[in-house]
């Protein structure tokens, strides 16, 4: 669960996900979330 940086609402599922893998480092999955309360879009890492 990701928390909206504007209003603090917990958002359960991402709109879109992708993998970010810099050279020589471990890959991280990033998710694009949309807050249902204020409508703000934000990115957060997914475990």
Q: Could you tell me the domains of the chain?
A: 2-46 (2.30.30.610)
Q: Which residues pair with 41 in a beta bridge?
A: 34
CA angle 45, 37, 19 (to 5 degrees): 20
pLDDT tens figures, 35-44: 999 999 999 9
Q: Which residues pair with 22 in a beta bridge?
A: none
* Stated length of the chain: 47
| Confidence label for 47 from pLDDT (cuts 50, 70 and 90) | confident
Q: Is the pTM of the predicted complex or chain greater than 0.85?
A: no
* Distant-in-sequence contacts of 17-22, Cβ < 8 A, 24+ apart: 17/46
| Confidence label for 14 from pLDDT (cuts 50, 70 and 90) | very high
């Amino acid at each position: 669960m990701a928390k909206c940086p504007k209003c603090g609402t917990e958002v359960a599922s991402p709109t879109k996900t992708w993998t970010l893998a810099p050279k020589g480092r471990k890959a991280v999955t990033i998710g694009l979330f949309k807050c249902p309360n204020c409508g703000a879009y934000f990115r957060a890492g997914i475990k």
